[in-house]
Amino acid sequence: MCDWKTSTQHHKIHTTHRRLRVWRVLFFGAFWFSLAGCQTTQGNLRAYKSLWGTKAPSPSLVRQEPPRRHKPNPRYLGSAQAYSAYLAGRMLAQEQRHRKAIQAFKVALVHDPNSAFLYFSVAQQHTQLGQWVKAIYWSKRAIEVKKSYSPAHHLLGRIYWILRNERLAKASYRQAIKNNPRYLAAYLDLERLLARSHQYDARKKLLKKLIKYRNEAHQGYFALAQIYQKEGDLGRALSMFQEAVNRKPSHVEALYHMARIYGVHKKIDASVRHFLLLLDYQPEAWQARMELAAIFLQRRAAFDEQRAAYQLRYVMREATQMEAYERAFRVGATFYEKMLFADATKWLLRALRYHRRESTADMSSEQRKLHRTHEQNIRFYLALSWRAEGQIRKALDEFRRIRAVSKAIRIEAQAYQIELLAEVGRYRESRELLKRIRTEKTKYRRWIRLSQAFAERATAEDLDQETRALKDLMKRWSEPEESWMHLSYLYFKQRQWELCERWLKKLLVRNARHAGALNFMGYVLAEQGKRLPEAEKLVQQALQLEPGNPSYLDSLGWIYFRMGQFAKAEAALRKASDRLPRDAAVLIHLALLYQRIGRLRKALVLFRRARALRPEPSLQRKIESNIQALRRRMPQVDVSRSSRPFRRQQPR
């Protein structure tokens, strides 16, 4: 008989040893299992290398069985090994290690060769490396596995677009949309591709389809609004911008466009409200602050000058990413566009003072050139502001100070000098300047631009000389379209209608989609008052090519006026005058329309505005004769004033 305590202790020791043996077996079993897994993984890698090597795999080697229905979600990959390899590849891709990521995705494909998602992942990494041929190959492999896999079609479209194969890119995008009508990225890429070829109808149809399937996407409404805005349909554009804002209240671009459209419609309070809402979301929107200040200065209600000063101080203090002279220049340019010429002149002179303070000692040659280019831009806008204010001498001095750093600005400055000298009656100096800066070696674009500036106010003799000189030079110019267009303009100025039509027809035979020639042909017919339906058709074709072009809208309105369709004429001419507020011809057309329908006071105001712009002599004579006619019909109107005197509101 043994002691029970001793027996219990032996039992406990035996139990403990047995448990240790079990844990030892489990530990070594797990160790050997993991080692076998590593060997299996290395075996898979060896199988991958021996099977594919460094080249792309062939379809017969990868797909060992018919493709099965597969979801694009990576969690549904065929096996745990495939998912592990995919996760490794995804982490490598996030670290920008694209070649290693490709290897990991290919290892995943060894375990799941029927996954379209994995083929697509490999194609994405080749795209990141710029290996377009391999990216196309792997995208097509994904499509072989699953024909309706939209991401692969979309990626193919992007690659073809990069390779400038627009036909295949459009086909791939359309296939992606067909397979998945809610694929937003494919819609947006296809819309941008159609925009390059100016296919407005196709773009609108595509965006309407996007809105139908993705009603919550603000991008479709915004893109459609931009098309309507470019076409001049501001009402529809405003409603589409509002829909975009409804879906994304912080859409600052839509708010900006809405504020500008309200400004065009003279709804100043709504414009101010939308600008302020935009600034709540993006306080560093400097252009919005400048335009808001311009609205305050135009409205000039109580405390508006203080509000404008606050916005301008904010720009000058906070826009530190720009130099001080650049900030002042942008303010002055904005004021010039808003026809606040006195304020524009003040800010541009301020920009010039800031620019002179900048030291160029530590600048490189490229920086000095850029510095001089900025000075050119400031002087160019300053000269335009002086001209708008009627100070021709100061404008001429500024144009003469512009140096030949930027050729485009230099040519424009010379053209404006020729126009201004003719405008003040100094025809001889204008002619001499043209002869001095234009030689036989002058490139044809520059020759034509200078000739246009001179022909605007040239005499009949000068126009005849320009015509003969242009005909001689056309024999050696390789691009005839611009020269034919200018030759028809010279015949138009001389009122030689048959020759003008002949050259325009010749140009349209060569290029039936030349929007400028179509519009000019329609306008020439309208000026003669003949074949008006044909003229309307020509201008409508030009507007289809360039929707919303204000010059074409002016031509269309003038044709409607000649046809007696005054409501259509007013709609078109008002759109044109809103976009070209300083074009004397547009103002005259609109004034003649108001005179015809009996709105005499409005016509008188527009005639005075056109006269203040100092148009060419023929238009000046037309303006004066119509003002005299209105005087006889409206003896009670004080014609010495162009508008009612402004009375500033007193603060309450």
pLDDT digits (tens, 9 = 90+) for 588-599: 999 999 988 888
383 occurs within a structural domain: no
* 456 and 537 both lie in a single domain: no
Cα Rg, the chain, nearest whole Å: 36
625 occurs within a structural domain: yes
pLDDT band at residue 410 under the 50/70/90 scheme: confident
* 551 and 475 both lie in a single domain: no
- Domain span including residue 473: 406-502
Of 502, 531, 547, which residue is a domain's last? 502
Reported pTM: 0.73
324 occurs within a structural domain: no
Core vs surface per residue 368-378: b (16+ CB within 10 A) or e: eeebeebbbbb
Query: With 0-12 CB in 10 A as exposed, 13-18 as middle and 19+ as buried, what is 133?
Result: exposed
C-alpha distances in Å from residue 616, one per residue of 69, 150, 473, 576, 586: 75, 60, 27, 20, 13
> Does residue 565 have a pLDDT over 70?
yes
* 432 and 497 both lie in a single domain: yes
pLDDT of residue 77: 56
DSSP string for 340-355: -HHHHHHHHHHHHHHH
DSSP string for 445-497: HHHHHHHHHHHTS--HHHHHHHHHHHHHHTTT-S-HHHHHHHHHHHHHHTT-H
How far apart (Å, rounded) are the C-alpha atoms in residues 484 and 470? 9
pLDDT of residue 19: 62
pLDDT band at residue 261 under the 50/70/90 scheme: very high
pLDDT of residue 352: 92
How far apart (Å, rounded) are the C-alpha atoms in residues 508 and 518? 7
Average pLDDT over residues 73-90: 75
566 occurs within a structural domain: yes
pLDDT band at residue 249 under the 50/70/90 scheme: very high
280 occurs within a structural domain: no
pLDDT of residue 63: 37
* 464 and 533 both lie in a single domain: no
Average pLDDT over residues 605-618: 83
How far apart (Å, rounded) are the C-alpha atoms in residues 400 and 417? 8
> Does residue 646 have a pLDDT over 70?
no
Average pLDDT over residues 96-113: 90
Core vs surface per residue 581-616: b (16+ CB within 10 A) or e: eebbbbbbbbbbbbbeeeebeebbbbbbbbbebebb
Chain segment 348-384, per-residue pLDDT in tens: 999 999 998 887 778 888 888 888 888 889 999 999 9
* 569 and 592 both lie in a single domain: no
Helix %, strand %, coil % for the chain, to 5?
75, 0, 25
Q: Which residue has the higher pLDDT, 512 or 259?
A: 259
Of 45, 62, 79, which residue is a domain's last? 62
pLDDT band at residue 405 under the 50/70/90 scheme: low
* 420 and 474 both lie in a single domain: yes
pLDDT of residue 16: 60
* 534 and 476 both lie in a single domain: no
> Does residue 194 have a pLDDT over 80?
yes
Of 484, 502, 520, which residue is a domain's last? 502
pLDDT band at residue 247 under the 50/70/90 scheme: very high
pLDDT of residue 262: 93
- Long-range contact list for 494-503, CB < 8 A, 24+ apart? 494/460, 494/463, 494/464, 494/467, 497/524, 497/528, 500/524
pLDDT of residue 404: 67
> Does residue 70 have a pLDDT over 50?
no
Among 349, 264, 351, 340, which residue's Cα sits nearest to residue 308? Answer: 340
Among 606, 596, 530, which residue's Cα sits nearest to residue 566? Answer: 596
CB 619 within 8 A of CB 588: yes
pLDDT of residue 151: 93
Residues comprising the chain, all counted = 652
71 occurs within a structural domain: no
> Does residue 651 have a pLDDT over 90?
no
CB 234 within 8 A of CB 550: no
* 411 and 448 both lie in a single domain: yes
431 occurs within a structural domain: yes
* 417 and 479 both lie in a single domain: yes
Residue 607 half-sphere exposure toward CB, CA atoms < 13 A: 26
Chain segment 17-63, per-residue pLDDT in tens: 566 665 665 655 554 444 344 444 444 434 333 333 333 333 333 33
Q: Tokens in use for 547?
A: 């929707």
CATH of the domain at 420: 1.25.40
CB 241 within 8 A of CB 221: yes
* 494 and 543 both lie in a single domain: no
561 occurs within a structural domain: yes
Q: Which residue has the higher pLDDT, 17 or 106?
A: 106
pLDDT of residue 459: 82
pLDDT of residue 639: 44
Query: Which of 19-33, 64-78, 246-260, 463-477 has the least mean pLDDT?
Result: 64-78
How far apart (Å, rounded) are the C-alpha atoms in residues 288 and 252? 10
| Average pLDDT value over all residues in the chain | 82
* 413 and 449 both lie in a single domain: yes
pLDDT of residue 30: 53
Our count of domains for the chain comes to 4
CB 226 within 8 A of CB 244: no
Query: With 0-12 CB in 10 A as exposed, 13-18 as middle and 19+ as buried, what is 234?
Result: buried
* 572 and 593 both lie in a single domain: no
Chain segment 278-318, per-residue pLDDT in tens: 999 999 999 999 999 999 998 888 889 999 999 999 999 99
CATH of the domain at 541: 1.25.40.10
DSSP string for 5-17: HHHHHHHHHHHHH
Chain segment 440-451, per-residue pLDDT in tens: 777 878 888 888
pLDDT of residue 173: 94
Average pLDDT over residues 615-634: 82
> Does residue 640 have a pLDDT over 50?
no
CB 396 within 8 A of CB 417: yes
